[in-house]
Amino acid sequence: MEALQDKIMKEGTVLSDRVLKVDSFLNHQVDPELMQKIGKEFASRFQEANITKILTIESSGIAPAVMAGLYLGVPVVFARKRRSLTLTNHLYTSQVRSFTKNETNDISISKDFISSEDMLLIIDDFLAEGQALLGLLNIAEQAGAEVAGAGIVIEKGFQQGGRIIREQGVRVESLARISSLENGTVQFTEEVLN
């Protein structure tokens, strides 16, 4: 997606060979107009998939997910990273290991908001090692919901997540796929690397 690649080139900062900082439009400040285009693009890619609900994870997945939900005309539910104080026995919960932060967190979703009737589109801001996506897929499975695919804003193709998720037979659509962050430079690719 050209507008997204342009934005990454203009405002993204390469922090290391593995980490891209995009705080000015995705992870801290949000660019609503760009987010709207992102939502429209996800919606067009999954238009024929009979999506009933979008599933994402707080916090940075919410903005692109809401825009996709707006265009698809479906609700958006986000997994929480902390256990809510109420209804703890009324939650689907999964463990997510973060390689970057070297910690494991529970993510959870109320049983009220996904069911075996749902056809889900999972949205997230980054795909790196794929652990967040695996957690969301696990929650969908617990609910007996179907997953039409995953829409990712930025996929880091040099990490393992894309391969792991696609090997499970899940359709993954990334709007920007980065093949390398070496030498402080962002390299994009159209290919699915893995």
Give the residue ranges of the annotated binding site. 20, 27, 128-132, 156
- Minimum Å gap between C-beta 184 and Na ion is 21
Interaction of residue 60 with Na ion, rule CB under 5 A: yes
Is residue 139 within 8 Å of residue 111, measured between CB atoms? no
- Minimum Å gap between C-beta 181 and Na ion is 16
Using CB under 6 A as the criterion, which residues of the chain lie in contact with ligand G4P when the complex forms? 19-22, 27, 59-61, 98-100, 125-132, 156, 161
Is residue 135 within 8 Å of residue 106, measured between CB atoms? no
Q: Which is nearer to Na ion, 147 or 152 (CB)?
A: 152
Cα 169 to chain center, whole Å? 17
CA dihedral 136, 28, 4, 139 (to 10 degrees): 0
Q: Which is nearer to ligand G4P, 50 or 59 (CB)?
A: 59
The footprint of Na ion on residues 105-124 (CB under 5 A) is: 124
The C-alpha angle 148, 91, 160, rounded to 5 degrees, equals 45
Size of the site for Na ion (CB under 5 A): 4
